[in-house]
Chain A
Amino acid sequence: MNSLYLIEFGHFAAYLALIVAAVQALAPVAGHIWGAPRLSAISLNAAVLVFVLTSLGAITIIYAFVTSDFSVAYVAEHSNLQLPLFYKVAALWGGHEGSLYLWVWVLTFYTLLVVWHGRRHYPRQLPVIVAVQGALVVGFFGLILFLSSPFERLLPAPPDGRDLNPLLQDPGMVFHPPMLYLGYVGFSVPFAFALTALLTRWKSEFWVGHIRRWALVAWGFLTTGILLGGAWAYYELGWGGYWAWDPVENASFMPWLLGTALVHSITVQDRRRMLHAWNIFLVISTFSLSLLGTFLVRSGVLSSVHAFAVDPGRGAYILAFMTIVLSVSFGIFLARGRYQQAEESVTSLLSRESLFVWNNVLFSIACASVLLGTLYPLGLEALTGEKLTVGAPYFNTVMVPIFLVVMLLMAIGPLVPWRKANAVRLRQHLLIPAIVGAIAAALMAAVLGGYWTGPAGVGLAFFAGSALVTDYLRAIRQRRAQLAEPWLRAARKTALGNRRHYGGMVVHFGIVIVALGLVGSGLFRHEASVVMAPGDALPIAGETLRFEGVRTDRRFNYRTVEARFTLLGSGRVITPERRVYPQQGAPMTETGIDSTPLRDVYLVLGEPVEGGRWTVRAYVNPLVQFIWIGGAIMLSGLALSLSGRRREARAKAAVENTAVAAK
């Protein structure tokens, strides 16, 4: 009874969702042909229905996981009777089929939000926007239902499942995919807006603010997803690092880079009424890279070009789907892209808008370089059969100089006003930050030495950080000079009075902190690979670790060997483990980490050696915590920026315009 039929019900709901999504995509087309706006409006109701149906499908899969219904093939492959409930629910996105389902579920959810938001703010364009998203839903549901269905049955049902990949049994991995997908798919909203703008020749003033906010939301989720992915790699994979320039990581980093360019240049259009076509191009490209990321990770092309060629089903579908989306959207862009011309000219090359153009140049170079390094080996092998590795050393060599220039721009940019900067005043304002940065770089070079990127990175981080702080202090001082407020109140009012700007500055400050973390952990890592017997002590980077011994234990769905280390001095205990998940076989290492803000002591328990000894890998990673702390600062800055009241601002602008016109 129960879930045996429920899953079929969910399967049926998914088929219905596909059909209704087709209605959602086609209704405005029909409405346009027959000149019947009420026909177009069906699209909105369809979008709500698609979300409900897709959710029903998702709930039946989750129910099958929770009730351990192994007659569902996807459940049998990714769950197990002993799997903790938390992971049973999250196993929905533990494999290929479910991940795609989550993708489309998120897409229908965003569509629902757009419908809800758009009814008030842009009712005339809404059916077209929703139709674009409907077309995407149809594309993904086609892939899910015909080529990788999570509803497939496995009869007769096995008595127990194969268990979720142990690497995924970690809280970081539970939240990483949903956040990443909320980011990827979030860019589908600006994408739908951009296509709608082109198709309906929608005037820029009416959509630029919406695109900006949706893009910021998507960017925030993508940032969260990437950070969680890094944290997961760091805590779970046990190689001492958090970012390996793996193609899977690059797949998420490319839309992030272009999305970062977008959230900057969209401001130029908002404030200075130029770069319209470029912004639409960026929006389409960013979403295309989100699709590419999904394609790279989900088609199997990364594990082997040959596997992709031999079993073309899913890969070919995604490739065909991407080709259609790209050619249609860029085709529309080429035909209509210049429907709106710049309405203002550049006043000076030293202006905020000009620096934003350079920001876009840098982020585009960064993004295209990652794209090249990721796709070139695939293309080379597919075309010539020759194999090439483009690994982390390549990306570090190429990306570090680019990011150093980005940091330099980040230090100067916020101090440069729109239209035209006063070069003399700018130089005055940058004097103290430049001195702070130079001292930091010199100290760093003299005391710690090392590769040139270390002092350069730290110097620029301090330059950018102190430029932010001095600029904020200057604003507070000006406010106090006018209003004679107490310090704290002036500080609060300054930041909250211009949330959009200061939110961005908080994000920048978070990036400075992350940059320090990257320099510290990237260039000053200590590591040792040793064999230890109980009682042995290992001195490393000013710490001494004593190995106390191991004990075995049996928990939930695994057996474990847990080692115990004491940090002499502080007496803190670190317990790395080796786990065996019987359903999956291979042993897994679970890292043991002792964190302080300034350094992590990171231990991996290796294999036993004769005589009761164990191989141990120990790392001391300076400033890793800065990365997570900086990430949190970035996200809080984003929240501050988004909390600004756009409607009030717009109403104020309208009043001003009227006043100007009435004169």
Chain B
Amino acid sequence: MRRFFLLLLFVAIPAFAAQVTEDPHEREMLSIAETLRCTVCQNQSVAESDADLARDMRELIREQLAAGKSRQEIVDYFVSRYGDYVLMKPPYDGPGVLVWLGPVVLVLVLAIPAFVYLRRRLHVPMAPPPVLSAEDVARVREAQRQPPE
């Protein structure tokens, strides 16, 4: 009987301590899914979304990976189906180019005037601060003596 329990323990331990590791295909699938937009969601990638469409797209990526397709081929496949809209990162050509050029243009548009402003304002002669008349000084003194209303 005791032997039976020992045996049970031995059978049980490996089952109990089973280590699970992530399937590398699954990781590859998710890293591709992260770059694709779930097209029916508000700003969620296919990797994050719980929507049915995202689930189907993840399954499609899994199938295509299993069929030996490369990352680029899979992404191209989704772009051919959904257009550039499916890419989380806008492409560098087509209408997306403007969003990429924007910040560069902004640097020029803002930095150059700032520099010109500073240079122009450098050592501009300024009128000396007006000297208070004796009357004004007396008024300031008076105001200081009284607490503000």
Chain A interface residues toward B at CB < 8 A? 120-121, 123, 239, 244-247, 274, 302-303, 342-349, 354, 357-358, 360-361, 364-365, 368-369, 372-373, 376, 380, 384, 386-394, 397-398, 402, 528-533, 535-539, 651, 654-655, 657-658, 661-662
Contact = CB atoms under 8 A, between A and B. Distances in A.
Given A364-B110, A388-B95, A394 B19 contact: no
B140 A246 contact: no
A345 B18 contact: no
Contact of A393 (B17, B20, B35): B35
Given A357-B114, A387-B83, A391-B88, A246 B43 contact: yes
Contact of B43 (A121, A244, A384, A528): A244
A398 B18 contact: no
A303 B22 CA distance: 35
Interface size class of B (residues with CB under 8 A): 35 or more
A387 B19 contact: no
A390 B99 contact: yes
B140 A346 contact: no
A342 B42 contact: no
A398 B98 CA distance: 13
B90 A372 contact: no
A324 B125 CA distance: 40
A324 B34 CA distance: 41
Given A244-B43, A361-B110, A380 B95 contact: yes
A536 B19 contact: yes
Contacts of B27: 528-529
Interface in B18-33: 18-23, 26-27, 30
Given A389-B87, A389-B90, A376 B126 contact: no
Contacts of A384: 95
B107 interface: yes
A358 B22 contact: no
Nearest to A349: B118
Contacts of A532: 20
B18 A358 contact: no
Interface in B110-149: 110-111, 114, 117-119, 121-126, 129, 131-132, 136-137, 140-141, 144, 148-149
Contact of B103 (A302, A398, A538, A651): A398
A368 B30 contact: no
15 contacts: A239-B48, A245-B43, A246-B43, A303-B42, A361-B111, A368-B102, A372-B102, A373-B99, A388-B90, A389-B90, A394-B88, A394-B90, A528-B22, A658-B132, A658-B140
A393 B103 contact: no
Given A365-B107, A389-B85, A394-B90, A661 B137 contact: yes
B127 to A, nearest CB: 8
Contacts of A369: 102-103, 106
B95 to A, nearest CB: 6
Given A361-B114, A661-B137, A388 B85 contact: yes
Contacts of A390: 90, 96, 99
A63 to B, nearest CB: 34
Given A387-B85, A654-B140, A536 B90 contact: no
Nearest to B88: A391
B86 interface: yes
A539 B19 contact: yes
A416 to B, nearest CB: 14
Contacts of B20: 530-532, 536-538
B37 A389 contact: yes
Given A244-B43, A345-B121, A651 B144 contact: yes
Nearest to A347: B123
Contacts of A387: 83-85
A50 B114 CA distance: 43
B124 A345 contact: yes
Given A389-B86, A390-B90, A658-B140, A346 B18 contact: no
Interface string B72-112: 00000000000111111110000110111011001100110
B15 interface: yes
Given A360-B114, A529-B30, 19 more contacts: A120-B148, A274-B121, A303-B42, A346-B118, A349-B119, A376-B99, A380-B95, A387-B84, A389-B87, A389-B88, A392-B88, A397-B89, A537-B20, A538-B19, A654-B140, A654-B144, A658-B144, A661-B131, A661-B136
Contacts of A376: 98-99, 102
Contacts of A360: 114
Contacts of A380: 95
Contacts of A120: 148-149
A537 B96 CA distance: 45
Contact of B110 (A365, A536, A539, A657): A365
B126 A343 contact: yes
Nearest to A545: B20
A346 B122 contact: yes
A346 B30 contact: no
B133 to A, nearest CB: 9
B39 to A, nearest CB: 9
A366 to B, nearest CB: 9
Contacts of A303: 42
A246 B118 contact: no
A391 B89 contact: yes
B36 to A, nearest CB: 9
A342 B120 CA distance: 12
Contacts of A529: 22, 26-27, 30
Contacts of A528: 21-22, 27
Contact of B95 (A386, A536, A537): A386
Contacts of B106: 364-365, 368-369, 372
Contacts of A394: 88-90, 99-100
A357 B149 contact: no
Contact of A536 (B18, B44, B125, B140): B18
B88 to A, nearest CB: 3
A393 B88 contact: yes
A354 B118 contact: yes
Contact of B16 (A244, A373, A386, A535): A535
Given A376-B99, A658-B141, A391 B37 contact: yes
Q: Which 3 A-B pairs have the closest CB atoms?
A: A391-B88, A393-B89, A661-B132
B1 to A, nearest CB: 25
A533 B18 CA distance: 9
Interface in B22-72: 22-23, 26-27, 30, 35, 37, 42-45, 48
A61 to B, nearest CB: 28
Contact of B99 (A244, A372, A537, A655): A372
A537 B88 CA distance: 34
A237 to B, nearest CB: 9
A23 to B, nearest CB: 25
B37 A357 contact: no
Given A535-B16, A662-B137, A123 B85 contact: no
A343 B125 CA distance: 10
Contacts of A535: 15-18
A529 B118 CA distance: 54
A403 to B, nearest CB: 13
B22 to A, nearest CB: 4
Contacts of B98: 376
A388 B84 contact: yes
